[in-house]
Structure 1
């Protein structure tokens, strides 16, 4: 799928191998600046961590070691063994041990094959993932980035041109989903299980708070909502229907909050395009509510495919392509960082958008 979203073409063709290992998913992809995404593959560690109720960092790192090279060989074969021009890997943010596996693989491959290497910001990958689609958004736009570790509203003027509009002051929305799922004994991963249970519940069964909607601004807070759910679980009968009602009411409160903040952000910026990315962006109820809001308020709405909402290497390869001129030649360091502010990224000179 070829994207035409850049206002100035890249200076030269590039073919980038992308590597993702920031948390509990190992992934590889190959992106061609002229032909688009050639191949991508992903291995989920859900089964590995399920017995522990969450990600165990050491186990995640060891599994990345086992899985990354076979995935890289797989996508290379599926893409027809193209001549690579560079390698992009997730530098951060994420679990440092897991990130270091991907960084080491990228550095080793770069050294052995004489290819330049670039560490990519994981959240920039999510922000730009809709550019993988045939119907891709033009700049500028507002992006809602919702995942297990982040809840952000960002004004995106171009690649590397990001202005933070709002963020969660406590739990990320995906984290709130997972914690509430744990209260309902839904296992791991909790978010998708809670969303599935919510389909059988009444969305008005509980009047949970819509956090910070009565305050000005675009920040979020989900800790109070999480506490309200905990109290509801303690006071409800231990039946599937009662749990479904709690799940549905919680999901509705989250969706109402996100939709209202998105509408506020679009009005505040005067922009007419909204991008929704990150794992929670795959939530069907959120997508339906935002689609309804877009039809009512007259803004354009863009989602990546569900497979590109969760962590993946296609978005990393895409960002590597857009930032190809920043790739380091020679021996690249195996560099990884747990925290990396999104607004510290610079504009890539080759793209000029």
Structure 2
């Protein structure tokens, strides 16, 4: 019989609620992305947690308006990694519902939710190569099974999403930076400016993006900042980022030759960037990998991915106690079905 999970996502600035079935049907999905952070040029934790408190109960009512609580099989909520205030809001609500309804509670790792959501849409068997590129993370892993991940490389400084936001801020563009930088880049010349490609031509799968941000800032201080130059900087920045990703993907493939891994999943908010997608897809095909991206609406933070991760964990009977704590840091490789 199909299982049904109510899911809550409050790890950053999206307040989201979904109801997901094990037959891959999404019964409802409600999401509010907080616009208040634009004035700060980034996510302000206190603002985020207050907005979650203001919005969460209403979103749950909307998501559950055609569903009875006694029909649910479990309640899932993001427990980390993320902003601790938001995590607490979501966990308290989820645990309260689970206790009142007498349903199991499942603590979801936000990164595992990103990793598994592609399996809601496509048939992707374990093991697979995994690249997470999001606002808070940039890392290569081998996904061996639910709760079992081996890290191959990670960022040594800024995440990729954070780098997009910081470059946008230097150029006087609005937060969030990813979509607007991509939009400007469409009108620019990607060969106009040459930014540093840190760690490329070296072994390993680690990333470093801080040098690009500094290079953009130094350039902005030297040239006239008009629309043409902004578009050229954005296009050149994306070219630089894509070259770094391709170099690291090739290294990862070299490391995996003996493991016979054929599937490659790229996920997280930055995976919604169409230019980067096309470059990554081309590289994957050259390395004889089957490439999978979630649909754009499932790359950015959402509760559907939390619900599907809840389904996957429920099917393996990975249930958590109501005293499971929020975790601001919670690496995937340390998950071990906790």
Query: TM-score normalised to the size of structure 1?
Result: 0.90
C-alpha distance in 2, partners of 1:250/1:199? Answer: 12
Q: How is 1:212-223 mapped onto 2 (pairs within 5 angstroms)?
A: 212-223=199-210
Question: What secondary structure does 1:255 align onto?
Answer: helix
Contact 2:203–2:251 (CA under 8 A) maintained in structure 1: no
Q: For residues 118-167 of structure 1, give each alpha carbon's deviation from its aligned partner in whole angstroms, at most 9, with x where no partner exists.
A: 2111111111110110x232211111100111000011111112100000
Q: For residues 55-91 of structure 1, give each alpha carbon's deviation from its aligned partner in whole angstroms, at most 9, with x where no partner exists.
A: 1211111111121122222222356777001101000
Task: Structure 1 unaligned segments of length 5 or more: list them.
Answer: 1-11, 349-353
Say whether 1:315 aligns with 2:302.
no
Task: Structure 2 unaligned segments of length 5 or more: list them.
Answer: none
Runs of 4+ in 1 over 3 A off after TM superposition: 78-82
Match of 2:51 in 1: 63
Question: What secondary structure does 1:326 align onto?
Answer: coil
Match of 1:224 in 2: 211
C-alpha distance in 1, partners of 2:246/2:200? Answer: 11
C-alpha distance in 2, partners of 1:190/1:228? Answer: 17
Count of matched residue pairs: 333
Contact 1:104–1:334 (CA under 8 A) maintained in structure 2: no
Q: How is 1:29-108 mapped onto 2 (pairs within 5 angstroms)?
A: 29-45=18-34, 47-77=35-65, 83-108=71-96
C-alpha distance in 2, partners of 1:166/1:146? Answer: 12
Q: For residues 174-205 of structure 1, give each alpha carbon's deviation from its aligned partner in whole angstroms, at most 9, with x where no partner exists.
A: 11111011000002111211111111110000
C-alpha distance in 2, partners of 1:80/1:204? Answer: 56
Distance 1:273 1:111, change over 3 A: same
Say whether 1:343 aligns with 2:330.
no
C-alpha distance in 1, partners of 2:242/2:307? Answer: 31
Q: How is 1:232-247 mapped onto 2 (pairs within 5 angstroms)?
A: 232-247=219-234
Question: What secondary structure does 2:71 align onto?
Answer: coil
Of 97, 109, 113, which aligns to 1:121?
109
Q: For residues 223-267 of structure 1, give each alpha carbon's deviation from its aligned partner in whole angstroms, at most 9, with x where no partner exists.
A: 111111111111121211011111110111001111221122123
C-alpha distance in 2, partners of 1:214/1:309? Answer: 29
Question: What secondary structure does 2:16 align onto?
Answer: strand
Say whether 1:15 aligns with 2:1.
no
Distance 1:211 1:35, change over 3 A: closer
Question: What secondary structure does 1:101 align onto?
Answer: helix
C-alpha distance in 1, partners of 2:8/2:103? Answer: 14
Match of 1:202 in 2: 189
